[in-house]
Structure 1
Amino acid sequence: MPHSITFSKITWSTPDGHTLLSNLDLSFGSERAGLVGRNGVGKTTLLRLVTGDLTPQAGTVTVDGTLGFLRQSVQVGPEETVASLFGIVEALALLGRAARGEADADDLADADWTLEARLAAALARVGLEAEPDTPLSALSGGQRTRAALAALIFREPDFLLLDEPTNNLDRDGRRAVIDMLAGWRAGAVVVSHDRELLETMDAIVELTTLGATRYGGNWSAYRARKALELSAAHRDLADAEKHAAEVARTMQTIAERKARKDSAGRRKKARGDLPRIMLGAMKERSELTGGANARLAESRQAQAAEAMTAARERIEILQPLTVTVPPTHLPASRMVLRMEGVTAGYLPGNPVIRDLSFAMTGPERVAVTGSNGSGKTTLLALATGQLQPWQGSVRLFTDVAMLDQRVSLLDPALSIRDNFRRINPGADENACRAALARFMFRADAALQTVGSLSGGQLLRAGLAAVLGAATPPPLLILDEPTNHLDIDSIEAVEAGLRAYDGALLVVSHDEPFLEAIGITRRLVLGAG
């Protein structure tokens, strides 16, 4: 019997009364469905409604099948192990007693002799090597995510509910999760901004403030359909503008014709060659015609304006961000950064980076990759002077700006505008506003306090403050810039970086992102 998840007329609001979901109808079958949409639109809320963590104010959620839910962050207790995450501590202990010859007949009857093999198979499916008694606190955040996912597939649920499963995973971890989902044959609802992962989906469901729209096929099919919708929206806007102009011309012609007839009537009246009763009838017809024409004009113009507004709104929703950035004037032969024989770390005798030599020249775009713990963030700290090497030398030959995952360059207590003026003291108000507008912070949007921004808005504001300067810094350093961003925000960041002509040093595991910004070279840490 097929399994399903069905939302019927669902309405849900935040505690402060903000409506996220309104009269929503949506269903999922035994398919792999990617759930996409802007941050804050309600994707995680949708998953929590399925699990029963949240209760809708109206409507019903019907689940036919068993569920496995992976949250964005895996919380662990100090005593928890991999086995406790799987819920098999007692079952493994029983097998241990049996192996030592300490089990009685009842124990042997209850023993699951396939347990260890199934545990190993589940861990292998997510590419994790760990023993059952490994403390979860000893695993990295990415390893804990993989262990939690293995525990879900170990139970073989009818539906996997995954909330950003590849966040904080290194390249190997992302690949393991992508491969696991590519071979998953039950149902899965996956909230993700990982475009590689979304390529394995059977359908994409886009959640917006207007509701949910289903697109058959994977991410590429969805994007192709969205491109067609954008083209259609531009045509509709052009047609609506043309129709509005035609309406205006037609109503102007009618008004001019009536004015000429009224003028002729006034001339006849002045000559006195028409009977009084006919003059009264002509006046009445003129007034009726004038009123009808006014009502007709108002109706047609309102319809034309409504059509233009609807077309513009569709384009505002679908139109990707494109930005222009002032040039850095970085010469192709200019040395930007040089590290020679660098060894560094945080604990004496335990170097994170050992004997590294590396240089950047001109507007190179270098991706720093490697497994979790290989020293990527350490390298960025060395490049910016936040960390001093134990041995070797680090020389920076240009101005630099760094945007970390928290965009700590910005003061959260200040507005976007005030941060821009603080970072670019030579910019006047007009230059500030123009730069922020290029990154979609127009008018009052530029007055938002940085501490109130979403992750995507925060990074976009940081890019605006750095790249919007009259002369941006020749070197920009980014640490995992796409983590926790929705796809619209990622594409906005990509647009800004494509327009930048300086040097880039980027830590990221997001391959589509690295491809989109034109990476020219890679520095792979932990690979000798």
Structure 2
Amino acid sequence: MPATITLSNLSWSTPEGRPLFSHLDLSFGLERTGLVGRNGVGKTTLLGLIAGEIPPQTGAVSVGGSLGILRQSVQVAPGATVADLFGLTGALALLRRAEAGEADADELATADWTLEARLASALTRAGLDAEGGTLLASLSGGQRTRAGLAALVFSEPDFLILDEPTNNLDREGREAVITLLAGWQAGAVIVSHDRELLETMDAIVELTTLDATRYGGNWSRYRERKALELAAIRHDLADAEKRVAEVISSAQMAVERQARRNSVGKKMAAKGDMPRIMLGGLKEKSETTSANNARLAEHRRAQALGAAAAAREQIEVLQPLSVTLAPTNLPASRVVLRLDGVTAGYRPEEPVIRDLSLQITGPERIGLTGPNGSGKTTLLALITGALRPWAGSVQVMVPFAMLDQQVSLLDPRLSIRDNFRRLNPGTNENTCRAALARFMFRADAALQLVSTLSGGQMLRAGLACVLGGPMPPSLLILDEPTNHLDLDSIAAVESGLRAYDGALLVVSHDEAFLAGIGVSRRVDLASGAR
């Protein structure tokens, strides 16, 4: 019997009572499936239900086959090695004893002499220069993620269950993971906003507040289908709104016709041309007709309004987000940033940045790239003034804003609305609410405390507060802006940044994002000395 994962009539709500799924029916077969959806819609919760870490409140989860589960961060026990992560510590120790002539006949019969070669092959496929005895604590977070994925693939489960496997990885790590998963032949359910990874999927499942929908094919095929669905829903909405107008117009005409008939009856009664009993019957019939017409008109109006509301709800789910920004009017000749011969670091004997010179002029869009540890964060600290150079000079000539991965410019004690008013003094309530709505913080959502936001929501709030005001900065510095954003939010941010007429300096390993915002120049810190 083929391995499958089946969700039947599944419902689950948050502890606060907010429903995530209602009567969800979904199945996964032996193919690679990308699970997408807006932040907060329940993707990670769904993985927890599949993995058995969260019990369903109603409905059932049936798993036929073995699961290999990778968390967003690989936990490291003191002294743990790569072999421990693979579950091979005992088997490798047996090989050492066998090589030393210390293993008995029974142990030799169980020894796997291909084990070391297969372990080395798995680590190489993950792009890791490591061995079984390598301490996990000596690896970076991204390297541990790759080691964890290599260990899962090595164990050959029927399904991989992965939550954002390329998040926080540098370019080399992302490419290694994407290549590894592109060659995976069994089942996989992968939550991701990495469009390069999603291009290698066999199917996409989109989770929304309404339902889960499966689309065959990769990310590009999914986007094509979504565009067609959006066009169809827009057509349905236009028809529904036309029907509402027709129903209202028809009801008004019926009221006017009945009023004219009633007027004729009153005139006849005034002349005394009709017996009293007949007049009473006509009056009763008129009142009955008016009541029936009113009920029928209200029924048709309710139906038409319901159809329009349903179409608008679908538009809300399908409509790609768009962001418009006020201009900075940055002149093309204005020098925005200049670094001359900068050397800096944290230990005198170990400079991170060596003799770096860089100039940004006008509304340039620069991507700052390089592997983890190459000095990108250090360079941003120099530009923002958080770190002083040992040699050389750093000059920022225009107003700027920096959004780090913690979005530390927001006060966690305040609401999104209050942060906007604090960072954009003099703006009125209407301007504030309109700006926040463009970044998906509508109505009461704008009143959420920043301390209660998810990572993706916090970055959206930071972008709204910095870019949504009437005078956005001439230089915007972003540090890995897509790490915690869902795909719709990434699309919205790309749209906004394409409309931004200031200078951009962006640290990102997301090549699709860099292309989407029109980055035209790269500064690669991979080489050490510049």
Q: Give 1:421-460 correspondences, 5 Å limit.
A: 421-460=421-460
Q: Do the aligned partners of 1:198 and 1:218 also contact (CA within 8 Å) in 2?
A: yes
Whether 1:11 aligns to 2:6 is no
Q: How many angstroms apart in 2 are the aligned matches of 1:510 and 1:496?
A: 17
Displacement of 1:235 in angstroms is: 1.0
Task: Please name the residue that 1:145 is paired with.
Answer: 145
Q: Do the aligned partners of 2:365 and 2:518 also contact (CA within 8 Å) in 1?
A: yes
SS in 1 for 2:284: helix
SS in 1 for 2:481: coil
State the TM-score, normalizing by the size of structure 2.
Answer: 0.97
Q: How many angstroms apart in 1 are the aligned matches of 2:361 and 2:526?
A: 23
Displacement of 1:17 in angstroms is: 3.4
Q: How many angstroms apart in 2 are the aligned matches of 1:316 and 1:55?
A: 30
Q: Give 1:252-267 correspondences, 5 Å limit.
A: 252-267=252-267
Task: Please name the residue that 2:493 is paired with.
Answer: 493
More deviation, 447-456/35-44: 447-456
Q: How many angstroms apart in 1 are the aligned matches of 2:134 and 2:21?
A: 41
Q: How many angstroms apart in 2 are the aligned matches of 1:272 and 1:226?
A: 69
Q: How many angstroms apart in 2 are the aligned matches of 1:435 and 1:13?
A: 30
Q: Do the aligned partners of 1:460 and 1:492 also contact (CA within 8 Å) in 2?
A: no
Task: Please name the residue that 2:79 is paired with.
Answer: 79
Q: Do the aligned partners of 1:33 and 1:204 also contact (CA within 8 Å) in 2?
A: yes
Task: Please name the residue that 1:169 is paired with.
Answer: 169
Identify unmatched segments of 5+ residues in structure 2.
none
CA distances 1:239-295 after superposition (whole Å, capped 9, x unpaired): 111111111111111111111111111111111111222212211211111111011
Q: Do the aligned partners of 1:400 and 1:475 also contact (CA within 8 Å) in 2?
A: yes
Task: Please name the residue that 2:160 is paired with.
Answer: 160
Displacement of 1:126 in angstroms is: 1.2
Q: Do the aligned partners of 1:166 and 1:194 also contact (CA within 8 Å) in 2?
A: yes
Displacement of 1:179 in angstroms is: 1.0
CA distances 1:394-442 after superposition (whole Å, capped 9, x unpaired): 1111111000111101101011222122212233444333433333334
SS in 2 for 1:5: strand
Q: How many angstroms apart in 2 are the aligned matches of 1:255 and 1:430?
A: 39
Q: Give 1:258-277 correspondences, 5 Å limit.
A: 258-277=258-277
Name the amino acid aligned to 2:370. Answer: G
Name the amino acid aligned to 1:507. Answer: V
Task: Please name the residue that 1:394 is paired with.
Answer: 394
Displacement of 1:11 in angstroms is: 2.1
Q: How many angstroms apart in 2 are the aligned matches of 1:209 and 1:438?
A: 20
Task: Please name the residue that 1:367 is paired with.
Answer: 367
Whether 1:209 aligns to 2:182 is no
Q: Do the aligned partners of 1:463 and 1:496 also contact (CA within 8 Å) in 2?
A: no
Q: How many angstroms apart in 2 are the aligned matches of 1:204 and 1:515?
A: 23
Name the amino acid aligned to 2:432. Answer: C
What RMSD, in angstroms, separates the aligned Cα atoms of the two structures? Answer: 1.4
SS in 2 for 1:368: strand
Displacement of 1:12 in angstroms is: 2.4
Displacement of 1:103 in angstroms is: 2.0
Q: How many angstroms apart in 2 are the aligned matches of 1:286 and 1:196?
A: 69
State the TM-score, normalizing by the size of structure 1.
Answer: 0.97
CA distance 1:470–1:13, shift in 2 (3 Å)? closer
Q: How many angstroms apart in 2 are the aligned matches of 1:387 and 1:420?
A: 27
CA distance 1:435–1:9, shift in 2 (3 Å)? closer
Q: How many angstroms apart in 2 are the aligned matches of 1:82 and 1:443?
A: 49
Task: Please name the residue that 1:93 is paired with.
Answer: 93
Q: Do the aligned partners of 1:163 and 1:191 also contact (CA within 8 Å) in 2?
A: yes
Q: Give 1:323-362 correspondences, 5 Å limit.
A: 323-362=323-362
Displacement of 1:211 in angstroms is: 2.1
Task: Please name the residue that 2:107 is paired with.
Answer: 107
Name the amino acid aligned to 1:60. Answer: A
Name the amino acid aligned to 2:95. Answer: L
Displacement of 1:469 in angstroms is: 2.7
Q: Do the aligned partners of 1:370 and 1:526 also contact (CA within 8 Å) in 2?
A: yes
Number of equivalences: 528
CA distances 1:358-377 after superposition (whole Å, capped 9, x unpaired): 11111000001111111111
Q: Do the aligned partners of 1:82 and 1:135 also contact (CA within 8 Å) in 2?
A: yes
CA distances 1:181-212 after superposition (whole Å, capped 9, x unpaired): 11111111101011110011111001112221
More deviation, 117-126/463-472: 463-472
Task: Please name the residue that 1:198 is paired with.
Answer: 198
CA distance 1:163–1:428, shift in 2 (3 Å)? same
Task: Please name the residue that 2:474 is paired with.
Answer: 474
Name the amino acid aligned to 1:281. Answer: G
Task: Please name the residue that 2:237 is paired with.
Answer: 237
Whether 1:249 aligns to 2:245 is no
Displacement of 1:18 in angstroms is: 3.2
Q: How many angstroms apart in 2 are the aligned matches of 1:24 and 1:434?
A: 35
Task: Please name the residue that 2:301 is paired with.
Answer: 301
Task: Please name the residue that 2:66 is paired with.
Answer: 66
Name the amino acid aligned to 1:432. Answer: C
